[in-house]
Amino acid sequence: MSDNRRTEQRFWDTYWVKQKHSRKSHRESLQIREIKRIFHHYLPKGNTLQVLEIGGAYGEYLMYLHDRFHHQVSSLDYSSEGNEATRNRFIQAGKEVRIIQRDLFSNLSDLPRFDIVFSLGFIEHFDDPLPSITKHLELVKPGGILLLGVPNLGGIYKSVLRKTAPSFEESHNLKTMDPASWEVFEQTLHLETLFKGYIGGFEPLNMKKLERKGVVAGGLNLLVSVLTVILSFHFQFLRRFNSPFWSGYLIGIYKKA
């Protein structure tokens, strides 16, 4: 399966090491709030429900589901650095999480099945998302819920990122950010669609990446920073309008047969 991946374990270990040294308290983005709003609308609550996040490192969403939905939460991730970050986050909060350090494509037969399995920002790192989604579904109980989410880096975001951070696209499969492409795995895996669509409206944070030097790249990155601040405090009503060209996130929620 490794030839289907756009990122490897070393990529994520390095990512989480950098996050550990750079992480600061920050204002919650409006996009994260919108994802949580979708949680509230579509996910059941209850302390008997078992929830698993695939690629769950740092555990921000798991912590939220634990606190607000009273779920029993687990994270499956193959990054030791990412798992350490998740573990420390829950220890500091005095709360419980099960951490499964495992490659999703390994033998999962010894793991329990979960009421809800989700990933946010995972399947876009594969040339063909179907095998990874099949493995997600393997861990869902019959009648359980599968939730998938990807950032939208197409549309206006692609135009900017190609000028500011061209290599960033290499680790993302932009085809997964088109909901029409999801019909393949929906039909193949016989999923019942509960919700599918773009959410969050325009999200300048999707473009806040800078690899290149120069006036053009620097100017665009500065503009993105200014837009992020403006939209965090003003014109929040614009978040209600969604389009493949500018919406920041794509989410699908499904019921397993």
How many Cα atoms sit within 13 Å of 78 on the Cβ side?
Answer: 12
More confident residue, 42 or 12: 42
- State mean pLDDT over 117-131: 95
- Angle in degrees, CA 108, 112, 114, rounded to 5: 110
pLDDT at residue 25 is higher than 60: no
Q: How far apart are CA 146 and CA 255, in angstroms?
A: 6
Candidate from 24-33, 71-80, 90-99 with smallest mean pLDDT: 24-33
Q: Give bridge partners of residue 192 from the DSSP assignment.
A: 255
134's CB contacts (< 8 A; 6+ apart) are: 185, 189
Structure tokens belonging to residue 68 = 């607000």
Closest CA to 161 of 182, 147, 177, 179: 177
pLDDT at 17 exceeding the cut of 90: no
Quickly state the pLDDT bin for 253 (edges 50, 70, 90).
Answer: very high
Strand partners, 254: 146, 193
**For 134-181, what is each residue's pLDDT tens digit?**
999 999 999 999 999 999 999 999 999 999 988 887 889 999 999 999
pLDDT tens digits for range 62-76? 999 999 999 999 999
Q: Give yes or no for a contact between 140 and 113, defined as CB atoms under 8 angstroms apart.
A: yes
Token pair in block for residue 33: 């709030």
Mean residue pLDDT across the chain: 89
pLDDT at residue 2, as a whole number: 45
When pLDDT is cut at 50, 70 and 90, the band that residue 12 belongs to is low
98-101 vs 72-77, strand pairing mode: parallel
Q: How confident is the model at residue 238 (pLDDT cuts 50, 70, 90)?
A: confident
Q: Which domains does the chain have, with CATH numbers?
A: 2-152+171-202+245-255 (3.40.50.150)
Which amino acid would we find at residue 62? Answer: L
Instruction: Look at residue 245 and tell me whether its pLDDT is greater than 90.
Output: yes
Predicted local distance difference test score (pLDDT) of residue 119: 97
User: Tell me, what's the pLDDT at 65?
Assistant: 97
The radius of gyration of the chain from alpha carbons, rounded to an integer in Å, stands at 18
Query: How many Cα atoms occupy the beta-carbon half-sphere of 257 within 13 Å?
Result: 6
Whether 217 has a pLDDT exceeding 90, the answer reads no
| Amino acid letter, residue 227 | L
Whether residue 6 is predicted with pLDDT greater than 80 in this model: the reply is: no
Return the pLDDT at 231. 80
Tokens 């939730």 belong to which residue? 147
User: How much of the chain exceeds pLDDT 70, in percent?
Assistant: 92
Q: Is the pTM of this model over 0.85?
A: yes
pLDDT for 16:
61
Could you tell me the CA-to-CA distances from 75 to 11, 78, 90 in Å, in that order?
Answer: 19, 10, 12
Q: For residue 1, what pLDDT is reported?
A: 42
Distance CA 226, CA 221 (A): 9
Q: Are 142 and 166 in contact (CB under 8 A)?
A: no
Amino acid symbol at 214? G
Helix (H) or strand (E) holding 198: strand 192-202
Evaluate if residue 23 carries a pLDDT over 60: no
Residue 29 is predicted with a pLDDT of: 76
